[in-house]
Amino acid sequence: MPEWSVTCLDTIRNAEWDLPRAPRLIMFSPPYPPLRCYDEGADGAIGTDSDLSAYTDAIRGLLLNVKKALADDGHLVLNIGDSYCGKGDRRKSLNLLPERIAMELDTVGFIIRNRVIWAKQVWLADDTTRGATIPHGTKDRWLPSHEMCYLCTPKAMAYFDTEAVKIPKATQETRDPLPKEEWDALFEKKMAAAQKIYGDDPGQRLRIKTLRRMPPLEGRPIRSVKTGPDVWQGPVARNDFHPAEYPPWLCRRFIKSCTEPGDLVVDPMCGSSSLGVTALRLGRDYCGFDISESYVDASIQRITAQEAARESV
């Protein structure tokens, strides 16, 4: 059985995380200022005031600790949405949290491999908005409904299992190339059409040459697509433990691509350990940390229940 632990720790102010070995994946989602304080009793939790430079300083501190802990060929995934400024000159402006954090990642020396956009599935029904990043209280702007996931590495070369996440063949285009005679006939037709449009235009020869080099889509052999695009549409999740938990599908994609079974996965702001329950199900070891005692307890309760159910099967 995979091994796990969840510990109460302020992972910004403490660099010693007491891990059994270097994790291949560290993934976290910090609270956003000035909206979120998940546990009023947790002293030192970030995201509780509107001072953006204090917030980015705190995130930089955490990133330095992450860099120290992460395996050389590992990945960091940092998931962050945005919030609005509520007062002063910038009132009603986005706080640009993803952009500010991206600059911190760069400053700390991470290589930013992807800016994955998680486009949330949003339902607007009966005055209830489900799935939005921010509650929909305003009518003079669009509803924020996406978050960023920055995929970063400490070094240029990192472990990435393309096979584990590649798009299944069945969903790729698999049209065969046209037989040569059909392609030639099509080319003659296109050339005649180009002649009609461009006549003696001096650019015409060039256009026709380009046409010869680039068979039309229906005649081109389709190269196999290895990984999918970086915009992921998917639902939010709901559990009884935390108001801002990751959906399992999001964790699964990063765990499967960035780790092998037996690797260690870490969440330094673990909340209800949604990352942990998915990691353990996929045969990875897991260490979670949170500053809040009550979320540590919730994580332990959740993981213990899952692992007991697995053992009894």
Ligand X SMILES: C[S@@+](CC[C@H](N)C(=O)[O-])C[C@H]1O[C@@H](n2cnc3c(N)ncnc32)[C@H](O)[C@@H]1O
User: Which one of 6, 25, 26, 42 is in contact with ligand X (CB under 6 A)?
Assistant: 42
Asked whether position 265 contacts ligand X by CB under 6 A, the answer is: no
d(CA 289, CA 69): 13
User: Which one of 34, 81, 98, 271 is in contact with ligand X (CB under 6 A)?
Assistant: 271
**Shortest separation between residue 2's beta carbon and ligand X, angstroms:** 18
Asked whether position 6 contacts ligand X by CB under 6 A, the answer is: no
Asked whether position 295 contacts ligand X by CB under 6 A, the answer is: yes
**Shortest separation between residue 67's beta carbon and ligand X, angstroms:** 16
**Shortest separation between residue 10's beta carbon and ligand X, angstroms:** 4
Asked whether position 272 contacts ligand X by CB under 6 A, the answer is: yes
Q: Do 278 and 265 contact (CB within 8 A), yes or no?
A: no
Considering only the stretches 29-37, 82-90, 131-139, 156-164, report the one whose residues sit in contact with ligand X under the rule CB under 6 A: 29-37
User: Which one of 147, 245, 263, 285 is in contact with ligand X (CB under 6 A)?
Assistant: 245
The token pair at 41 is 């009793």
Considering only the stretches 143-151, 238-246, 252-260, 303-311, report the one whose residues sit in contact with ligand X under the rule CB under 6 A: 238-246
Asked whether position 269 contacts ligand X by CB under 6 A, the answer is: yes
Size of the chain in residues: 313
Helix (H, G, I), strand (E, B) or coil at 292: coil
User: Which one of 71, 105, 151, 291 is in contact with ligand X (CB under 6 A)?
Assistant: 291
Which amino acid is it at 43?
D
- Of the two residues 5 and 204, which places its CB atom closer to ligand X in the complex? 5
* CB atoms inside a 10 Å sphere around CB 129: 16
Which amino acid is it at 47?
G
**Which residues, in sequence order, are CB contacts of 44 under 8 Å at separation 6+?**
10, 12, 13, 291
- Specify burial of residue 100 (Cβ count, 10 A radius: 0-12, 13-18, 19+): middle
User: Which one of 75, 105, 290, 303 is in contact with ligand X (CB under 6 A)?
Assistant: 290
Q: What angle do CA 120, 266, 148 make, to 5 degrees?
A: 25
The CA-atom distances, in angstroms, between 294 and each of 209, 281, 302 are 69, 23, 12
Contacting positions for ligand X (CB under 6 A): 10-12, 29-31, 38-39, 42, 44-46, 242, 244-246, 269-272, 274, 289-292, 295
